[in-house]
């Protein structure tokens, strides 16, 4: 396992990249910006997993969707879904872990859920899935998910970083949004096309 420093500049050997972290840490926003800067495709695991009406995909549907999405690189993959780790890390060179504090992550999760409830934006095109105020205060809300999983997510990725089976993967652990911004600022921009 090699652990890069947050300021190390991603280059061609960094692709393909999986951005992970607790819900509310800002994985999707960061992944999109990173993919744009690197000239890579951004793939959102939630979009592959959730069907219309907040229906979950079973592994028999979900895994082939992941496989198809990752068939062509370079890519930046946004999301955790631990059961898919062998598949998504098979061709990954780098895992960027947004490991922010509990309070920062929770605050972000609450603000995002409130904004989405107010704007009624569709989360993934064609699904009709939208967050609501009723969901925000339910035990199934993203806010409660963040509260329940922050500690276990941290333990999981700390363990992965030390696991010999992932020795070929470069891990970058970002502990504050300033580190994420510094990493993005260090990028030269997408490669130009001839």
Q: For residue 111, tell me if it sits in a domain.
A: yes
Q: For residue 192, tell me if it sits in a domain.
A: no
Q: For residue 190, tell me if it sits in a domain.
A: no
More confident residue, 185 or 134: 185
Q: For residue 194, tell me if it sits in a domain.
A: no
More confident residue, 138 or 166: 166
Q: For residue 93, tell me if it sits in a domain.
A: yes
Segments forming the whole domain that contains residue 56:
2-185
Lowest mean pLDDT among 47-56, 102-111, 168-177, 185-194: 185-194
Q: For residue 88, tell me if it sits in a domain.
A: yes
Q: Is the pLDDT of residue 8 over 60?
A: no
Q: For residue 191, tell me if it sits in a domain.
A: no
DSSP string, the chain: -EE--TTSPP-GGG-SEEEEESTTS-HHHHHHHHHHHHT-EEEEHHHHHEEGGGEEPPHHHHHHHHHHHTSSSSEEEE---GGGHHHHTSS-SEEEEE---HHHHHHHHHHHHHHHHHHT--SSTTS-----HHHHTSTTSHHHHHHHHHHHHHHHHHHHHH-GGGTTSEEEEE-SHHHHHHHHHT---SPPP-
29/18 Cα distance (integer angstroms):
13
Count of structural domains, the chain = 1
Q: Is the peptide bond before 164 cis (omega within 30 degrees of 0)?
A: no
Q: Give the domain CATH number at 156.
A: 3.40.50.300
Q: For residue 108, tell me if it sits in a domain.
A: yes
Per-residue pLDDT band for 141 (boundaries 50, 70, 90) equals confident
């Amino acid at each position: 396992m090699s652990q890069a420093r947050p300021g190390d500049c991603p280059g061609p050997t960094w692709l393909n990249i999986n951005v992970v972290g607790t819900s509310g840490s800002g994985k999707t926003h960061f992944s999109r910006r990173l993919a744009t800067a690197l000239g890579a495709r951004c793939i959102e695991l939630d979009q592959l997993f959730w069907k219309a009406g907040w229906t979950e995909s079973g592994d028999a549907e979900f895994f082939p969707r992941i496989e198809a999405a990752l068939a062509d690189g370079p890519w930046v993959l946004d999301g955790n879904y631990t059961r898919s780790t062998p598949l998504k890390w098979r061709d990954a060179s780098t895992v960027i872990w947004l490991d922010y504090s509990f309070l920062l992550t929770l605050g972000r999760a609450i603000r995002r859920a409130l904004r989405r409830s107010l704007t009624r934006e569709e989360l993934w095109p064609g699904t009709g899935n939208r967050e609501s105020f009723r969901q925000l205060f339910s035990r199934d809300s993203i806010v409660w998910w963040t509260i329940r999983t922050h500690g276990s997510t941290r333990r999981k990725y700390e363990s992965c970083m030390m696991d010999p089976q992932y020795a070929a993967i470069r891990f970058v652990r970002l502990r504050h949004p300033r580190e994420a911004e510094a990493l993005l600022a260090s990028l030269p921009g997408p490669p130009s096309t001839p």
